[in-house]
């Protein structure tokens, strides 16, 4: 049976070009989507752009262009970068699209008719960068600043429409108490504390803000960007070329199984969004996972500090696979991470070029030299499943499955790497280069090399969602077909593929070549 699996990145705010944080979330989502496709699931990976709001209106004005032209250009940067780095998204949604506006209007009317919208006065300090009102007071009566952006807040006093979040205190409290709904556990506790403090109605409209979706029957009001943007996940599921309504969009794969987001927008996805869905009598997403922030060499990144890491420049310097490996292998997904240049080079070179690359190169070279350019026979023992590496490899594939189920990308990467290290250790211990000198031990050498090649094949399979291009180069070196994790496998095929003994003896081996060239950098990342 084919299972649907819908997962999302945030819809990225297009006030500027993509930054390394956007790349991190998207690479993680891509790895998870590839994993689910390999399990035979019908996956829909949604990404896209959040294109309304005051911050964008001001950014466009500062650039001297109309807001429409500005968001078109910025959305183009995101789409081009995802294509450049091989992101396997199925839908790219833009909230400025007419079909999204129609869906927002339908959703709003449903919520309003259910009695969860009211008119009221909004007074408070507003962060334009966060697009959010803040509970804040300035020092000595002065203007308070946003703790995230370190910018002055703006005072607002205007008539707005409000979503009655307070109507959903009990169901949201019950929802966030479920261990499975918010991850990791530290994020769930944050959300629980927020909910326990009492849910307050929040403004869902703005006045005198032309760059937004107009509110029906409310002249001068446009929708608050978050009320609009969250619905983009549902818009994305509709037919881009057909009629767009809630019913057809929902049938395209809602509810989502997983929202991947940064921790700064956790409240919107784990509290506001499910309450909005409840207000419209719609199903809730299964899980919201909030990852941490990235710093660089121990410092927060920012233009004023001059230490931002431009993704396009980074990929041009080092390539896609090293960045994928470093971000997914070195940072515990869910926690904050620090990008360090020396560690980047050390991990990429030691893990990919040395541990995995040299393992493939020397094992294929020995098989070429001693066994007629082919995978050796199983030799002794005759049952390949009795090979000492077989239980290690089987445990590794089980561990990788467990890690992906828990959004533990680092754990999956470390499991694959640990298997490669174990295979290297076994190879050094057996020293086939010495044993082959004794003709009576040829069968034993064959068994050693077969096991090493087979375990290496399983390393390559486990790496596929994380570093797909490197994984396929490895598989090709073993004479195997590359995997297509963009489109996936039939249900049950993965279990067959990772079963020990899948590498046929006598299979021709291509000439050994470096799996990955060691990285050397002139200057900074």
The sheet carrying 299-300 orders its strands as 299-300, 294-296, 337-339
Q: Give 155-202 as a DSSP string.
A: EEEEEEEEE-GGGGHHHHHHHHHSTTTEESHHHHHHHHHHHHT----E
Is it the case that residue 141 has pLDDT exceeding 70? Answer: no
Which structural domains are found in the chain, ordered by start? 4-291 (3.40.50.620), 320-497 (1.10.730.10)
Provide the pLDDT for residue 461: 99
pLDDT tens sequence across 350-371: 999 999 999 999 999 999 999 9
Residues 45, 7 contacting (CB under 8 angstroms): yes
**133: nearest Cα among 188, 201, 220:** 201
**226: nearest Cα among 249, 202, 209:** 202
Structure pTM?
0.94
d(C-alpha 357, C-alpha 363), whole Å:
10
Helix-then-strand count for the chain, H and E: 21, 15
d(C-alpha 312, C-alpha 317), whole Å:
9
| 3-state helix, strand and coil shares in percent for the chain, rounded to the nearest 5 | 50, 15, 35
Residues 525, 317 contacting (CB under 8 angstroms): yes
Region 291-305: what's the mean pLDDT? 91
pLDDT tens sequence across 24-51: 999 999 999 999 999 999 999 999 999 9
Region 416-441: what's the mean pLDDT? 97
pLDDT tens sequence across 96-125: 999 999 999 999 999 999 999 999 988 888
3-state DSSP call for residue 127? strand
Angular region, 152: left φ>0, alpha ψ -120 to 50, beta rest:
beta
Q: What is the mean pLDDT of the chain?
A: 94
Tokens of 213: 């979706």
3-state DSSP call for residue 320? helix
Region 441-466: what's the mean pLDDT? 97
Residues 242, 248 contacting (CB under 8 angstroms): yes
Is it the case that residue 205 has pLDDT exceeding 90? Answer: yes
d(C-alpha 521, C-alpha 29), whole Å:
28
Tokens of 247: 């019913």
pLDDT interval class at 152 (50, 70, 90): confident
Region 317-323: what's the mean pLDDT? 97
């Amino acid at each position: 049976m084919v299972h649907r699996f819908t997962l999302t990145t945030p819809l990225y705010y297009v006030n500027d070009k993509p930054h390394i944080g956007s790349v991190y979330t998207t690479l993680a989502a891509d790895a998870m989507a590839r994993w689910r496709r390999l399990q035979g699931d019908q996956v829909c990976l949604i990404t896209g752009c959040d294109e309304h709001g005051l911050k964008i209106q001001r950014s466009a004005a500062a650039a001297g262009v109309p807001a429409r032209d500005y968001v078109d250009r910025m959305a183009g940067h995101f789409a081009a970068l995802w294509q450049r780095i091989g992101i396997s998204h199925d839908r790219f949604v833009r909230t400025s699209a007419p079909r999204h506006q129609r869906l927002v209007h339908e959703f709003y009317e449903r919520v309003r008719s259910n009695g969860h919208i009211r008119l009221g006065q909004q007074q408070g300090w507003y962060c334009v960068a966060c697009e959010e009102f803040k509970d804040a007071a300035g020092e000595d009566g002065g203007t308070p600043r946003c703790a995230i952006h370190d910018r002055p807040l703006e005072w607002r006093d205007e008539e707005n429409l409000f979503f009655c979040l307070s109507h959903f205190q009990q169901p949201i409290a019950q929802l966030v108490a479920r261990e499975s709904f918010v991850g990791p556990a530290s994020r769930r506790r944050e959300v629980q504390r927020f909910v326990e403090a009492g849910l307050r109605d929040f403004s869902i409209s703005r006045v005198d803000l032309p760059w937004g979706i107009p509110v029906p029957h409310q002249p001068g009001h446009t929708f608050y960007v978050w009320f609009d943007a969250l619905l983009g996940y549902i818009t994305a599921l509709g037919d881009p070329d057909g009629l767009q309504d809630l019913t057809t969009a929902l049938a395209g794969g809602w509810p989502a199984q997983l929202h991947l987001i940064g921790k700064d927008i956790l409240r919107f996805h784990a509290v506001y969004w499910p309450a909005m869905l409840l207000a419209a009598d719609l199903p809730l997403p299964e899980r919201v996972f909030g990852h941490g922030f990235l710093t660089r060499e121990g410092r927060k990144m920012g233009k004023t500090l001059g230490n931002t890491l431009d993704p396009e420049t980074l990929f041009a310097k080092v390539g896609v696979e090293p960045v994928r490996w470093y971000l997914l292998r070195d940072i515990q997904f869910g926690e904050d991470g620090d990008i360090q240049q020396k560690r980047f080079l050390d991990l990429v070179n030691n893990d990919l070029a040395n541990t995995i690359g040299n393992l493939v190169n020397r094992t294929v070279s020995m098989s070429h030299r001693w066994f007629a350019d082919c995978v050796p026979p199983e030799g002794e023992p005759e049952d390949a499943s009795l090979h000492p590496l077989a239980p290690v490899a089987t445990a590794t594939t089980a561990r990788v499955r467990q890690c992906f189920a828990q959004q533990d990308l680092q754990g999956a990467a470390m499991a694959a790497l640990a298997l490669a290290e174990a295979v290297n250790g076994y190879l050094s211990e057996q020293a086939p280069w010495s044993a082959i000198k004794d003709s009576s031990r040829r069968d034993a050498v064959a068994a050693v090399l077969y096991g090493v090649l087979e375990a290496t094949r399983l390393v390559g399979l486990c790496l596929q969602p994380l570093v797909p291009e490197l994984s396929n180069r490895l598989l090709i070196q073993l004479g195997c077909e590359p995997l297509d994790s963009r489109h996936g496998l039939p249900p049950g095929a993965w279990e067959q593929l990772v079963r020990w003994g899948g590498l046929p003896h006598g299979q021709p081996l291509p000439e050994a070549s470096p799996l990955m060239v060691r990285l050397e950098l002139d200057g900074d990342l």
